[in-house]
Amino acid sequence: MAVEAPPGRMEQARAGMRRAALKRQVEAVAAGSGDRLPIDLEDGAFDVATVVAEVAWPLQPQSASLTRLVVALHRSGVADAVVAGLAEEDPLQLERCCRILGALRLEPAVPWLAPLLRSEHVAVSDRAARALGRIGGIRSAEALLAATRRAGTRRTLVVALARAAPDLFIETVLSSRRRPGLLGAAALAAGLRRRHTAVGPLLALLDSGTRRHRAISCRALGWMRAGTAIPALTSALSDPDWRVRMAAAKALGELHAQAQFKELDLLLTDRDPRVRKAAKQSLLRLGNVMLSRDWRWAWR
């Protein structure tokens, strides 16, 4: 007597087979052995967007494989349907559309993705930010930078901005000072990008920015491993604001600034416990570096 599988298991198996078949079809188009992709975005059996993104994500920008995939989606009408899907109200559908557009790096979709950065659903705005970061370019960077004015230095926005910004975009924002409300996000993005063309603007911001901007500049310079910033960071250890002193202490630890051991040691008596903790952590880091270079330091 044959044993029938539960209905739920059968449906899962069918969905898995359809998903595998679609993935093979998408891979075939990317490889050049197909030219059409009849995809139903509203197929509830499995996440179509995930399948397309899995294939498109590793492909290099402007590569032949990605171009073939984009052309096939346009021919099949899927690309237009995805862009039109950005007008839907269903958050899950919006996330799927954003994921496909980001994976395909469809730059013409930027004007439709940008408004989603203001979505009340954090998952939707985060997915739109990641898509814009993936697409890149001046329009994506401007949209992400503008979004930080309302949402602040939210991690997803800053990471996407660091990824999307073209050469010298961040440096120009930091140098212009015409948009002070955006300087914090720009400084964080500069630190994540780790391009030394931003060291000069960050040092200027550390010298004359607000307390918040000075603290962010210290952290960014530390992330960038900007050795030329050590003198300015050492001076920042005596800043009136505890956030700046703490950020400077952390940055000097990240820079392995052994010559500043004494200055950091003085912060162990700082009036703010958070500054003392940061100084202690940096001193431990410096001690480990010195120990690895000269075992005799352990006996001093």
* Domain CATH number, residue 155: 1.25.10
Q: How many domains does the chain have?
A: 1
Question: Packing angle between helix 169-176 and helix 138-151, nearest 10 degrees?
Answer: 50
Contact of 270 with 279, CB cutoff 8 Å: yes
- Specify the DSSP element, H or E, that contains 142: helix 138-151
* 146 falls within a domain: yes
- Domain hosting 148: range is 86-165
User: Tens-digit pLDDT profile for the chain (300 aa)?
Assistant: 444 555 567 777 777 787 787 788 888 888 888 777 767 666 655 677 788 888 888 888 888 988 888 888 888 788 888 888 888 888 988 998 899 899 989 999 999 999 999 999 999 999 999 999 999 999 999 999 999 988 888 999 999 999 999 999 999 999 987 677 889 999 999 999 999 999 999 999 999 989 999 999 999 999 999 999 999 999 999 999 999 999 999 999 999 998 999 999 999 999 999 999 999 999 998 887 554 555 444 444
What confidence tens digit (pLDDT) does each residue in 135-150 have?
999 999 999 999 998 8
* 99 falls within a domain: yes
CA dihedral of 245, 250, 252, 253, whole degrees rounded to 10? 150
* 189 falls within a domain: no
* 6 falls within a domain: no
* 27 falls within a domain: no
Rg of the chain over CA atoms, in angstroms? 25
Segments of the chain assigned E as strands: none
∠ CA(44), CA(50), CA(55), 5° rounding? 135
* 132 falls within a domain: yes
The sign one gets for the Cα dihedral 103, 107, 110, 111 is: negative
Tokens of 101: 């557009």
- CA separation, residue 256 to residues 193, 202, 273 (Å): 20, 19, 22
Tokens of 208: 């004359």
- pLDDT reported for residue 179: 74
- CA separation, residue 52 to residues 41, 65, 99 (Å): 11, 13, 9
* 145 falls within a domain: yes
- pLDDT reported for residue 113: 96
* 40 falls within a domain: no
Q: What is the pTM of this model?
A: 0.83
